Structure 1
Amino acid sequence: MITVHHLNNSRSQRILWLLEELDLAYEVKRYERDPETMAAPEALKHVHPLGKSPVISDSATGRTLAESGTIIEYLAERYGGVNREDAPLLPAKSPGAAGAENVSSDFDAAYWDCKYWLHYAEGSLMPPLLVGLITARLRKAKMPFFVKPVASRIADQIDGTFTRPRLKQHFNFIESHLAQRDWFSAKHLTVADIQMSFPLEAAASRGLLGTSYPNISAFVNRVHARPAYQAALKHGGEYDFA
């Protein structure tokens, strides 16, 4: 049995969605954020030293795994996401052939595109989104009245010189990529789309997309319309993308 150590309003919602797409049995152990600090509870540190979510425990292998990308690859590889002939959630890598002259045959486009977006979501897109979240909270934080204007100016400076320009660059890149396709790395849903869902949902919920990125908005709508996604929401509970 797979246990998902599920923190409310977190990336672990993606793991529930993947498990539903794989049609796997699982159980959810819930953890709640501190309503004031939004920090994860100490109880999660008993599961993994960093005390963050998502974390899964697989009784079949005795493994406890953290990090969204690792969990997603593990579940897809171990539990059939590669072998679905009609629409593999993790596209197979071409076997290639020995010898440098044939090395290019090893680079299957869908496989490497999937790997790229799987890592891009957390490695490139999430950092400026997190900085934007921090500056937004800085503006709302309780502090002496004479400090508030200074804090707001600092937040404005960070957003003006870093957050907004970086996000515009990323959103333009993603919008262009989705212009001729519904999904990120294949003609069907893959784990790349599951991994990309969280940052783009967060962007949409914060009003960062507006009407300027219709392809990204359409992608988010396609994600939300999937029956497996809806089933994951029922198991995961309330989910605040922002």
Structure 2
Amino acid sequence: MLTVHHLGLSQSERIVWLCEELELDYEFKRYERIGGKGYAPPEYKALHPMGIAPVISDGALMLGESGAICDYICGRYGDGRLTPGPNHPDFADHLFWFHWCNGTFMATLMGGSVIQLAGTDISASPGAAFIADRTARAWDMIEARLGEAPFFGGRVLTTADIMMVYGLTTSRAMRGTSIDAFPNVRRYLSDIGTRPAYRRAMAKAEPAMEPVLT
């Protein structure tokens, strides 16, 4: 039985959404952070050697890492849905945004967060200008992409969107980032918010929080 182990306020909301979009029969287990927004509880950390979200189990398999989990679920249960094939005109764009999300975008955002967690004023850090430049470039790329196509992967929703939306919503809320200057992002999130599967997923993943779509 496919089980999604969801840690509250974490990237594992992606996997809940993926399962809802694919209309899969899966088990959902939610774990509360220690102190609300604090660390994962010991029972969650024990699931996987890295001790971080997301994690799924499927029979004897225990698998971590958002991208790997998306590929596994789509490959095993997706029947070709949400993943354009190599002959599809959106194939390359889908691949780029799917991998760019955690490889560049989330890594850049986390770089700033790590400096702050270390008790350092990011504005006084030697890497502040580097992080600020990469962050600005990332948001400009996102805005430009969503002016070119309705979804990150192209014409229709793909796992590139499953990956990207967390950084534009829940993660953004925790950082206090405004999207007032990004009309294409606002349009996109408004569209995402109308998807029944996304609403179901967020109601399961974060029942005490309205999806952060503005």
Equivalent AA in structure 2 for residue 129 of structure 1: L
Task: Using the TM superposition, name which of 37-46 and 12-21 deviates more.
Answer: 37-46
CA contact (8 A) 2:32 2:40 kept: yes
> 1:229 offset after TM fit, Å?
0.6
Which letter does structure 1 place at the counterpart of 2:124? Answer: Q
Q: Does 1:123 align with 2:91?
A: no
Which residue of 2 is the match for residue 54 of structure 1? Answer: 54
Q: Report what 1:74 is aligned to.
A: 72
Task: Could you tell me which runs of 5 or more consecutive residues in structure 2 were left unpaired when the two chains were aligned.
Answer: none
Counterpart of 1:133 in structure 2 is: 113
SS in 2 for 1:4: strand
- How many residue pairs match? The answer is 209
Question: Does 1:227 find its partner at 2:196?
Answer: yes
Separation in structure 2 between the aligned mates of residue 39 and residue 81 of structure 1, nearest angstrom: 36
Map 1:78-117; keep pairs closer than 5 Å.
Answer: 78-82=76-80, 88-94=81-87, 108-117=88-97
How big is the alpha-carbon RMSD for the aligned residues of Structure 1 and Structure 2?
2.4
Shift in CA distance, 81/214, structure 1 to aligned 2, threshold 3 Å: farther
For 1:19-34, list aligned pairs within 5 A: 19-34=19-34
Native 8 Å contact 2:179 2:185 kept in 1: no
Q: Which moved further from structure 2: 202-211 or 166-175? A: 202-211
Cα distance, 1:119 vs structure 2: 0.9
Give TM-score scaled by structure 2 length: 0.86
State the AA in 1 paired with 2:183. P
1:81–1:90 CA contact under 8 A, matched in 2? no
Deviation, 1:125, is 0.2
| Contact kept in structure 2, 1:129 and 1:203, CA below 8 Å | no
AA partner of residue 3 (structure 2) = T
2:15 and 2:24 mapped to 1: Cα distance? 11
1:236 to 189, 200, 205: 205
Query: Is the 1:205–1:241 contact (alpha carbons within 8 Å) kept by the matching residues of 2?
Result: no
In structure 2, relative to structure 1, the CA distance for the partners of 1:175 and 1:79 (3 Å cut) is same
Is 1:110–1:185's contact at 8 Å kept on the other side of the alignment?
Answer: yes
Aligned-pair CA distance for 1:127 = 1.8
Displacement of 1:135: 4.7
* Letter paired with 1:78: R
For 1:122, give the aligned amino acid: N
User: What's the % identity of the aligned pairs?
Assistant: 36
Question: Partner letter of residue 182 of structure 1?
Answer: P
How does the TM-score come out when normalised to structure 1?
Answer: 0.77
Task: Quote the residue 1:157 is aligned against.
Answer: 124
The CA distance in 1 between the partners of 2:29 and 2:37, in whole Å, is 21
1:189 aligns with 2:157: yes
